[in-house]
Amino acid sequence: MNIKPLADRVVLKSVEPEETTKSGIILAAAAQEKPQMAEVVAVGPGGIVDGKEVKMYVNVGDKVITSKYSGTEVKLDGCEYSIVRQSDILAIVE
């Protein structure tokens, strides 16, 4: 089953968070923060949103940083995705 976002929405799949710190300390699952880095899985067509023209700047496969706790969590075929507006994406990681 595929997810096809509408308007200025983007479907993201979270990149797994680090389980150890730079100094080698292993973090418990409860101590890990929600990952802010994700991979773009699908991109909506853009168009007119709230009376304004929206151009999509992200592409499938881009790694992006999103604002914390943004979007809607969706579970499909055993995978967890997040659907966010393009405006919730803060940066593209190159």
pLDDT at residue number 6: 94
pLDDT at residue number 34: 60
The lowest-confidence range among 26-30, 39-43, 49-53, 66-70 is 26-30
Residues above pLDDT 90, as percent of the chain = 62
User: Which residue would you say has higher pLDDT here, 71 or 15?
Assistant: 71
DSSP letter at 68 equals T
pLDDT at residue number 17: 60
pLDDT > 90? residue 27? no
Reading the block at residue 28, the tokens are 């418990």
Assess contact for 94 and 18: CB atoms under 8 A. no
For residue 33, how many C-alpha atoms fall within 13 Å in the half-sphere facing its CB? Answer: 7
Reading the block at residue 45, the tokens are 């067509």
Split at pLDDT 50, 70, 90, the class of 42 is: very high
For residue 66, how many C-alpha atoms fall within 13 Å in the half-sphere facing its CB? Answer: 29
Place of tokens 């899985």: 41
Distance CA 19, CA 39 (A): 19
